[in-house]
C-alpha cells in the first residue's frame, strides 16, 4: 500500500517524547496514515500505541501499515477529544497531537479539500457529520461566511470573498472545489492573486475548520491529556498555523504557572499548582533538509511539555 503523507518533525518528536517502560503506553491522538506511530513502535519494542482518528478511510491505511506490530497497536475510530474525555485506561507516558491535515486528504480522499481539483465540496473527516463544505458555502449568510473566513482563515478579503460566493450561488449552487476556487480568485484584487500562496488557501482552511470543529477540540483535549499522563510523561503538540499554536502555547504556560491568583494577592486562594514543565521554551521547527524533503513541514511547530511527579522531580 502506498502512503502519501510523510510525518513532520519525526526525529525531534522521537528525541523529546521518551516513553517510560514503567508506563509503556502512548496515545497518538491524530493517527492519520500511522507515520508517527510506526516510528515510535519501531524505536521502542516495549511500547503499546493507541491510535485515534475520526476518518475511517485513512485509519484503514494505518491499520494495514501497523498490522505487523500485533496487539501492540490499537486503532480507535473517534475524535480525540471524545476519547480523552472518557479515557480510563493505563496512564500513558507519551501523548502526541499532530494537528495538521494529512496530505492524504488533499491527494486521495476526493472530498474537496484541494482547490486544484474538481471534487464535490465536502471536507468532512467524519462521514456521518451532517454539515459539509457544500452546505456552508450554499446556505450560510454572507455575514456568517465572512466571519468564519476572517476568523478561521485570517483572510483580509473575507468580506469580498463572502459577497462573491453569495452572488455566484444566487445563479446556481456552488458544487465543486475548483468552482469555488475560481470564485475566490476573481473576488480578490489582481495583485493578491499572485502571492506566495493561492488566494483560495485561507478560505479553504476556514471551511475545513468550520466543518470539523477543529479549534474547539484543542483546549479541552490538552487539559485532559495532561491530567491522564503518567508522572514524568511527555505531551507533544505539532501545529501548523497560529490559530492552532496560540491556544497550545497559552495553555502550556497556564499549566506550568499553576496559580491564577492576582499578582498582588497576599496568599494563594485558587489552589492551583504547577503540574508540567515546558521542555521547548521556543517551538521546534523543521531544519532546511526536512523543509526541502517534506514541504508541509515548513510551517510545523512542535511544543513539548513534561508532567511533574516523575523520579527526577523534587
- Domains in the chain (CATH in brackets) are 10-105+216-307 (3.40.50.150), 108-212 (1.10.150.170)
Distances (CA, A) of 42 to 72, 280, 283: 11, 25, 25
Tell me the pLDDT tens digit for each residue of 277-286: 999 999 999 9
What does the alpha-carbon distance between residue 154 and residue 193 come to, in Å, rounded to a whole number? 16
CA distance 242 to 255: 20
What does each C-alpha distance from 67 to 4, 55, 62, 63, 64 come to in angstroms?
Answer: 18, 18, 8, 6, 5
- pLDDT by 10s per residue, the chain, length 314: 667 788 999 999 999 999 999 999 999 999 999 999 999 999 999 999 999 999 999 999 999 999 999 999 999 999 999 999 999 999 999 999 999 889 999 988 999 999 999 999 999 999 999 999 999 999 999 999 999 999 999 999 999 999 999 999 999 999 999 999 999 999 999 999 988 889 999 999 999 999 999 999 999 999 999 999 999 999 999 999 999 999 999 999 999 997 777 767 666 777 678 999 999 999 999 999 999 999 889 999 999 999 998 665 64
Predicted model pTM? 0.92
Distance between CA atoms of 7 and 132, rounded to whole angstroms? 27
Residue in the structure block whose three cell numbers are 480507535: 76
* The three-state (H, E, C) secondary structure of the chain, written as one string: CCCCCCCCCHHHHHHHCCCECCECEEEECCCCCCHHHHHHHHHCCCCEEEEEECCHHHHHHHHHHHHHHHHHEEEEECCHHHHHHHCCCCCCCEEEEECCCCHHHHHCCCCCCCCCCCCECCCCCCCCCCCCHHHHHHHCCHHHHHHHHHHHHCCCCHHHHHHHHHHHHCCCCCCEHHHHHHHHHHHCCHHHCCCCCCCCHHHHHHHHHHHHCHHHHHHHHHHHHHHHCCCCCEEEEEECCHHHHHHHHHHHHHHHHCCCCCCCCCCCCCCCCCCEEECCCCCECCCHHHHHHCHHHHHCEEEEEEECCCCCCC
* Pairing mode of beta strands 276-278, 301-307: antiparallel
* Closest among 313, 269, 244, 260 to 30, alpha carbons compared: 244
User: What is the Cα–Cα distance from 162 to 166, expressed in whole angstroms?
Assistant: 6
Task: Give pLDDT, residue 5.
Answer: 82
Phi first, then psi: give them for residue 243, nearest 5 degrees: -65, -30
What pLDDT, in 10s, does the model give residues 154-178? 999 999 999 999 999 999 999 999 9
- pLDDT tens, residue by residue, 250-305: 999 999 997 777 767 666 777 678 999 999 999 999 999 999 999 889 999 999 99
Amino acid at each position: 500500500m502506498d502512503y502519501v503523507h510523510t510525518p513532520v518533525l519525526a526525529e525531534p518528536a522521537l528525541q523529546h517524547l521518551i516513553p517510560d517502560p514503567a508506563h509503556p503506553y502512548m496515545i497518538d491522538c491524530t493517527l492519520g496514515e500511522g507515520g508517527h506511530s510506526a516510528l515510535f513502535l519501531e524505536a521502542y519494542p516495549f511500547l503499546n500505541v493507541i491510535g485515534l482518528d475520526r476518518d475511517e478511510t485513512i485509519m484503514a491505511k494505518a491499520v494495514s501499515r501497523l498490522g505487523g506490530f500485533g496487539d501492540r497497536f490499537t486503532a480507535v475510530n473517534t475524535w480525540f477529544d471524545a476519547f480523552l474525555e472518557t479515557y480510563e485506561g493505563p496512564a500513558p507516558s507519551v501523548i502526541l497531537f499532530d494537528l495538521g491535515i494529512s496530505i492524504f486528504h488533499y491527494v486521495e480522499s476526493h472530498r474537496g479539500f484541494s482547490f486544484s481539483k474538481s471534487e464535490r465540496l465536502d471536507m468532512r473527516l467524519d462521514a456521518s457529520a451532517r454539515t459539509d463544505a457544500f452546505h456552508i458555502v450554499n446556505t450560510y449568510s454572507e455575514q456568517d461566511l465572512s466571519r468564519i473566513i476572517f476568523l478561521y482563515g485570517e483572510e483580509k478579503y473575507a468580506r469580498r470573498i463572502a459577497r462573491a460566493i453569495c452572488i455566484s450561488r444566487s445563479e446556481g449552487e456552488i458544487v465543486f472545489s475548483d468552482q469555488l476556487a475560481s470564485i475566490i480568485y476573481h473576488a480578490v484584487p489582481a495583485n493578491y492573486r499572485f502571492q506566495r500562496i493561492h488566494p483560495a488557501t485561507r478560505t479553504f482552511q476556514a471551511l475545513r475548520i468550520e466543518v470539523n470543529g477543529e479549534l474547539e477540540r484543542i483546549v479541552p483535549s490538552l487539559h485532559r491529556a495532561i491530567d491522564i499522563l503518567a508522572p514524568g510523561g511527555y505531551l507533544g503538540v505539532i501545529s501548523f498555523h497560529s490559530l492552532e499554536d496560540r491556544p497550545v502555547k497559552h495553555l502550556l504556560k497556564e499549566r506550568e504557572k499553576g496559580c491564577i491568583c492576582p499578582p498582588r494577592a497576599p496568599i494563594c486562594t485558587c489552589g492551583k499548582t504547577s503540574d508540567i514543565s515546558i521542555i521547548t521554551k521556543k517551538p521546534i521547527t523543521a531544519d532546511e533538509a526536512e523543509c526541502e524533503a517534506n514541504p508541509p513541514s515548513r510551517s510545523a511547530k512542535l511544543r513539548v511539555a513534561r508532567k511533574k511527579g516523575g523520579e527526577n522531580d523534587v
